[in-house]
Structures are given as C-alpha cells and as structure tokens.
Structure 1
Amino acid sequence: MMKLSICNLRISILGLVTSFALAGCAGDPLESGVDPFAPMVFKEGATAMPLNPPNNATSQPFYVSQQTIFKFAVDTNSILIGNDGITRYIVILTSPNGNSQVQYEGIRCDSFQWRLYGTFESGVWKENPLSTWRAIQSNVPNRYQASLAQGAFCNFTSQEKNIKTVINALNPNGFTGQIKPTNSYGVID
C-alpha cells in the first residue's frame, strides 16, 4: 500500500514537472513561431452610429487655423475612447453663412488617420457606406482632424486614454491643436 502511494506521488510530480516545462515552451517565440517584434495587425472594433443628435450645451468650439473660414466644435458627450485605439466623436462644421454639417468620425493616433462613419441629415444619422481610413492632412486650411489629433486625442502616436485630459485639452484657453496667432503685444487676433 505504501509502495503504491509513493509511486502515485512520483507520477504526480513527474506530471507536474512536465506540465510546467510545456507551459514554459508555449510562450517561447522561437517555439511558437510568433515574432514578438512583428508589427501588430490593426483590428477595428464595431462602430455603432450615435443614438442622439449633437448637444449644443456640450459642444466645445476649437481653433483650427488662421486660413479657414469655417467654425468647428466637438460634442464632448460624444467622445468615445475605444479599446481598439480609435477615438470616436461628433464634430460640427459651421460655414460663414451659418449652415452646419454634423459628422461622426474616428481618429487613429498610431497611424495618424481619420474615418467618416456617418452624417446627421434631416434629424437622422446616416452611415457612410464608403467609409475608409484616410491620412490626416496637416497642411490644409480645414485641418480640423489634425487639430483634434495633435491638440487633444493623441499623445504623439498613442491614444490619450483619459477622457478628462481630452476634455481639458479642448478648452479654448489651452487648446494646442493649432496655436492662435498673436500680435506683438501678445493679444490674440
């Protein structure tokens, strides 16, 4: 009886040691064939259109450039910081004659790209069936995606994960997406 117990103990210990050895090999990139230095493949999460129109009470205007004639604002209640690396938001673009266009977009900081998911037309959100990722343009007058990425949504090439930090960065007094021009007395024009 004692011999049987010692034999069972030895088999159990041998099984345990073998399990640890196999577990150790499973994480070895040379054994598994996974290159730890290979670039990660981007996988976008599901994106649902917003349920509500933009809220004027939570819309935050932001400065884009001296060359633009449009006004821009983000509905701060709509900002979603996704686990997939995309910051989604509602933006309101207003022309000089007062006409507004409302869009639901996303920004990827790692690749400096943006995507138009849909527009708000006649009181209804309409998905953009041709939506693709596009490079953010930094050298055009209506460079609002670049302003949002550089001033609030991104920390260089990584996504800002703290919503408070994003909303504080959108504050017009401290927004750095594009520095407002000043005259020689430091007064903002």
Structure 2
Amino acid sequence: MTLLHPIVRGGLLALVCFSAPAVAGLLTDPDPEWKEGEHTLPTPPREAALREFFVSSASPNHFYIDEDSIVVAEDGVVRYTLVIRTSGGATNVTHEGIRCATGSWRLYATGRAGGQWTAARDEEWKPIVDNAYNRPRSALSEDHICDGPVPPRDRDEVLKRLRGEASTFMKSGK
C-alpha cells in the first residue's frame, strides 16, 4: 500500500471537500417534484434555419443552433438542435435540452446522414461545466437561453437573443 505524504493527503482532502459541494450544487433541483415533459424529435436542420453563435476564439469549429428546432417547453426545458462543423469538414448534429433551473443539459439524440435521429443511450441530466466539451452548452445557456435559473419566456425571446435583438430589459440586467 502506498502512503501519501501528509501534505498531499491534506491537499486531496481539501480538493474533495471544496469541489464536491460545488459539483453537487450544480444539480440541486429547486423543485424535487419536477417531471420532464414529453417531446418529439424535430425535423432535420435546414441550412437556412442555422444561426451561428459564438463559443470561443480558441475553437476552430463553427457552432449553429437550428432556429426551427427551438422549443421552450412547459416543463422549463429549452430544447434545440445543435450543429457543429469542424475545421476538417465534419458535421455533428445533436438534439439537446437545457434546464436553467438546475444548470444542466441532456442529450436526446444524434443526427445521422439522411436526416435520421438515433436516440441517446444516456438519458441523464449533466451539469453544464464551462470546459472544452461543454463550452457550446455553456455559451448557449449563459448568453442566449437562461437568466440564471430562469428560462426564457418563450421561443421568440430565444430567437431575439440569438439574433442580437435582446430586449432592453435583458441588456440592462433589470
């Protein structure tokens, strides 16, 4: 058995103690009775409906949300289709949801050639953490979809935000 130096052991303990509540807090549900509503997968994205949004200057990829697919549902989930085009020419299509109340996201399906959807195997909600993999979701939730834990009023509000037409209310932070 390898014993850790007391300083390393203390540092690891501090890391666990301080980061565990932060991660656990990301998925604390303010409404423990919440139930996800039913939804249907949208039609495949149309080129004319793709709206590019900024994710990071460090990424060579281009990120789009399919405006036709945006739904602000009664269960508080904002569902959308995300299209990522890599610098190498690959295109990734996913249908996802963001739940502002918990700062979490879920993958519903991945797009296939010919406009087919393949249902996701993992149905778990995951915290939106601002890292390379989650950066598109973080950018969407922070810049276009959520007001902290509050979802937008409706689909039109999300479209206005994506198009840079956010209301004076949103821009002033009041």
With normalisation by structure 2, the TM-score equals 0.72
Answer yes or no: is 1:86 the counterpart of 2:71: no
Match of 1:102 in 2: 93
How far apart are the structure 2 equivalents of 1:120 and 1:172?
27
- Larger radius of gyration, structure 1 or 2? 1
What is the aligned partner in structure 1 of residue 105 from structure 2? 114
Alignment of 1:19-168 (within 5 A): 39-50=31-42, 52-123=43-114, 124-140=116-132, 143-168=135-160
* Counterparts of 1:67 and 1:100, CA distance in 2: 18
After superposition, give the CA deviation of every residue in 1:76-124 in whole Å (9 maximum; x if it has no partner): 1100001001000001011101110110000000110000000111221
What runs of 5+ residues in structure 2 fail to find an aligned partner?
A: 1-29, 167-174
- TM-score if structure 1 supplies the norm length? 0.67
Q: Deviations over 1:42-90 (max 9, x none)?
A: 210112222x210110110000012212110001110000100100000
Amino acid at match of 1:105: E
| Contact 1:160 1:166 (8 Å CA) reproduced | yes
| Structure 1 gap ranges (5+) | 1-37, 175-189
1:170 alignment partner AA: L
State the AA in 2 paired with 1:103. Answer: T
Letter in 2 for 1:104: H
Contact conserved, 1:91 with 1:102, CA < 8 A, in 2?
yes
| Residue identity (%) | 30
Residue 163 of structure 1 deviates from its aligned partner by 1.9
**SS of match in other structure, 1:158:** coil
